[in-house]
Chains A and B, each alone.
Chain A
């Protein structure tokens, strides 16, 4: 079984005999990591990969995310997992049709609001009516605004999110780190989908590909807000890799008897979108998604 690798010191990364060689910047210690045992790499304290290494990671479809000082610097995303050009054509054809595009966007807004209500109810049960009412009002405005008003509505959602996170007492550094890690998870999921990440459904621009930004909008309450309260991420936290892996492995959705972890929720959502484009399946955003409170 392949593993998510977190590197906890600044390293140089190169290819050696078909494996990944890590060389510590301070101290010069080196280690070999088998690429076939690796599903994704988070270099938490900076990394300098060379060309042959990136080619190896691309060959084995392993995304690499580089962080430094609690900030997400960049991600290297292999594109070899994209199987079918047909689905991209379907994606374009679907989103060029204003009515179909709106139905999909509308469902995505509903899913985003639902996940937010669920997270608010779990994290702040006494205030659940307040948050539910605010998010549902915002959703109703979104329904009325249509495709043209999406940017405005996303901004409204963002404002409410900000107030919620303030009440949850997130420090800005911790929030930026958690958001960076969550964005990296979403970006990693894009590499497993036969979709063009530059064609978004809700978002049309931003720092990361619009489709990834869409998925981040839906799942940020689960990936960021529901991070264990006592163990929020910071560059000084030594056990961050363990907490991060544990957080991502929380069971979050099911398809029949098959469970999906928090880490793979964006992939699962991408599959639902793909099924809608390619096989005409009805799209239900974040269907059967639910995460228990940490420790429950």
Chain B
């Protein structure tokens, strides 16, 4: 649940509505509901091993990759979108007094995340309770997975 809270805070850096949707457990796409590829990764080691051992193999150890010794790294999943993980990593960097870290992505090169002065300002604003709302639809909304949930419901079905 700790990572859930971190991701909610990460999303809130971009849009409070998006954070509220994620926090409420809303998933914008039926395919994401059915996509259990994350479990496949962990499931591979649970098939064919005794149940007692499988019980301990419930998640990835963040230090297993060993590729980023000395830096903060976070292993991402397919859901939520990357910007949530970027936000979460920025918070971790800020809290730990670090300047840069990595997002370890499956099947893709790792992403370097730098805590820039702009990001620090964003985090300070967030800590002071100044949250961002995407009031005017724009660039941020166009990239948001929840766009269709936020959009005003116009022209309904024919029987109305």
Contact = CB atoms under 8 A, between A and B. Distances in A.
Interface stretch (A199-207, A209-217, A233-241, A286-294): A286-294
Interface in B120-160: 147-151, 153, 156-157, 159-160
B99 interface: no
B44 to A, nearest CB: 9
A279 B21 CA distance: 7
B28 A279 contact: no
B159 A118 contact: yes
Given A18-B51, A36-B40, A87-B24, A264 B30 contact: yes
Contacts of B20: 278-279
Interface string A144-171: 0000000000000000000000000000
A69 interface: no
The size class of the interface chain B forms with chain A is 35 or more
Interface string B20-32: 1101111111100
B155 to A, nearest CB: 9
Tell me if A's interface is mostly helix, strand, loop or mixed: mixed
Interface in A73-115: 81-84, 86-87, 114
B24 A1 contact: no
B67 to A, nearest CB: 26
A281 B35 CA distance: 27
A271 B24 CA distance: 8
Most buried by A among B17, B24, B30, B35: B24
Nearest to A113: B159
B149 A34 contact: no
Given A34-B47, A36-B40, A271-B26, 4 more contacts: A84-B23, A117-B159, A271-B27, A278-B20
Interface of B: 4, 17, 20-21, 23-30, 33-36, 39-40, 43, 46-51, 54, 147-151, 153, 156-157, 159-160
